């Protein structure tokens, strides 16, 4: 957890009006130290859901499966 704090402090120090950070993680705990402007969920190479920090907590509670059917339906309609 000390390493997580160190990485988070570095990310927070770099982020500013002239520099953004793209952080890709499956580790929700990092959000205890970094507050994202946006959270995006990718499935099969596409963004299927976007939101704020609350989306990350929803994913922690529900997992990712609830997002899968919508993506599969889109695949059928696009390819169908």
Q: pLDDT tens digits for 24-63?
A: 988 888 889 999 999 999 888 889 999 998 999 899 899 8
Q: Which residues contact 23 (CB under 8 A, 6 or more apart)?
A: 11, 30, 34, 36
Domain range list for the chain? 2-79
Q: What's the whole-number mean pLDDT along residues 55-72?
A: 81
pLDDT-derived band at 12 (thresholds 50, 70, 90) equals very high
Q: What's the predicted TM-score (pTM) here?
A: 0.70
Q: Of 4-18, 25-39, 66-80, which gets the smallest average pLDDT?
A: 66-80
Q: How far is CA 71 from the centre of its chain?
A: 17
């Amino acid at each position: 957890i000390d390493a997580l704090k160190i990485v988070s402090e570095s990310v927070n120090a770099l982020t500013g009006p002239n520099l953004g950070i793209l952080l890709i993680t499956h580790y929700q705990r990092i959000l205890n130290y970094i507050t994202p402007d946006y959270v995006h969920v990718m499935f099969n190479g596409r963004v299927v859901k976007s939101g704020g920090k609350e989306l990350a907590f929803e994913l922690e509670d529900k997992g990712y499966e609830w997002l899968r059917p919508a993506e599969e339906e889109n695949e059928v309609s696009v390819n169908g």
